[in-house]
């Protein structure tokens, strides 16, 4: 049987240590969430973030704006959070309605409070391997999951499938900074199966259910499934990119969906809020 990379176990452990840190602080860290409209998946993601933040003793200031709000008014709201001394971390829940440019909203966030790590300042810091930056939560979560289970990364060949700004690219950079040899694959990659067979670690972040089958892996493969796709049939559930039933008996370690990277992403966001709180303290000293 493979080692199951259980994100819920790691989240519980991290929640405990965050709670004990919060008890030592003069003020509770606060996460500001800006939502535009009320898409059902966004409501669900925000509920998870709120629940986790409150479970560790953080405050949450969730502002829900009408889906018709102008980009200008959204940027004004972001600026209010930027300058609010009681708010440590700010995130704008994506996706936004099509009349608002997502990068304009992201770039309006003060990089010190950018707990999704998506501003150009934090992307640049990740590129430069500057630890003062805020790293996108999924990348931080994948690295913490590997670390928790003592999966060696240095010198290993990691294949990252997906190159998005929010998932694939930051994960690839984070792995490279930990001395992995990284291959980044995407929709145009021709020989995905051969690349996967050569890899020690496969990080699947394509959003394509069933993409990774037993042909892709070998007995020493470590497979981390970032994909989350809701399906309706044969039953309503969330599935990853990996065919877990086919792949899990053939590999050394694997993360499930749900219960793998998902909980790690949420707890890593909360860790980013604490990091933002601590950087603000240093900045204001």
Helix (H) or strand (E) holding 74: helix 71-83
Closer residue to ligand NAD in complex, CB, 166/176: 166
Interhelix angle 120-127/168-177, rounded to 10 degrees, is: 30
From the list 93, 114, 156, 200, the catalytic residue is: 93
Closer residue to ligand NAD in complex, CB, 56/203: 203
Taking alpha carbons only, the member of 213, 241, 243, 215 closest to residue 228 is 241
From the list 116, 200, 225, 241, the catalytic residue is: 116
Q: Among this protein's residues, is 93 annotated catalytic?
A: yes
Closer residue to ligand NAD in complex, CB, 138/144: 138
CB of 33 vs ligand NAD, minimal distance in Å = 16
Q: Among this protein's residues, is 49 annotated catalytic?
A: yes
d(CA 5, CA 7): 6
CB of 219 vs ligand NAD, minimal distance in Å = 23
How many other CB atoms sit within 10 Å of the CB of residue 285?
5
Binding residues (CB under 6 A) for ligand NAD: these are 138, 161-164, 166-168, 185-187, 189, 192, 205-208, 211, 226-229, 261-262, 265
For residue 95, the 8-state DSSP code is P
Taking alpha carbons only, the member of 93, 56, 60 closest to residue 78 is 93
User: Roughly how many angstroms between the first and final C-alpha of the chain, as a whole number?
Assistant: 52
From the list 6, 14, 35, 49, the catalytic residue is: 49
Q: Among this protein's residues, is 116 annotated catalytic?
A: yes
Closer residue to ligand NAD in complex, CB, 30/118: 118
Annotated catalytic residues are 49, 93, 116
């Amino acid at each position: 049987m493979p080692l199951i990379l259980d994100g819920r176990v790691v989240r519980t452990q991290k929640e405990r240590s965050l709670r004990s840190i919060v008890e030592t602080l003069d003020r509770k860290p606060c996460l500001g969430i800006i939502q535009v409209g009320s898409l059902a998946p966004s409501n669900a993601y925000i509920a998870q973030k709120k629940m986790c933040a409150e479970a560790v003793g953080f405050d949450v200031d969730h502002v829900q704006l009408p889906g018709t709000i102008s980009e200008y008014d959204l940027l004004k709201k972001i600026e209010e959070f930027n300058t609010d001394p009681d708010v440590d971390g700010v995130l704008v829940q994506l996706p936004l309605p099509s009349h608002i440019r997502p990068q304009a909203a992201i770039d309006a966030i003060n990089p010190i409070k950018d707990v999704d790590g998506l501003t150009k300042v934090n992307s640049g810091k990740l590129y430069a391997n500057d630890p003062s930056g805020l790293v996108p939560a999924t990348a931080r979560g994948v690295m913490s999951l590997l670390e928790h289970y003592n999966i060696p990364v240095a010198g290993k060949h990691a294949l990252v499938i997906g190159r998005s700004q929010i998932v694939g690219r930051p994960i690839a950079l984070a792995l490279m900074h930990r001395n992995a040899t990284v291959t980044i694959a995407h929709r145009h990659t021709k020989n995905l199966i051969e690349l996967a067979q050569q890899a020690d670690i496969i990080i699947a972040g394509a959003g394509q259910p069933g993409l990774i089958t037993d042909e892709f892996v070998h007995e020493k493969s470590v497979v981390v499934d970032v994909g989350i796709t809701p399906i309706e049939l044969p039953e309503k559930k969330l599935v990853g990119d990996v065919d877990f039933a086919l792949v899990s008996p053939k590999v050394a370690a694997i993360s499930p969906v749900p219960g793998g990277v998902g909980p790690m992403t949420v707890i890593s966001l909360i860790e980013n809020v604490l990091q933002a709180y601590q950087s603000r303290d240093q900045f204001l000293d």
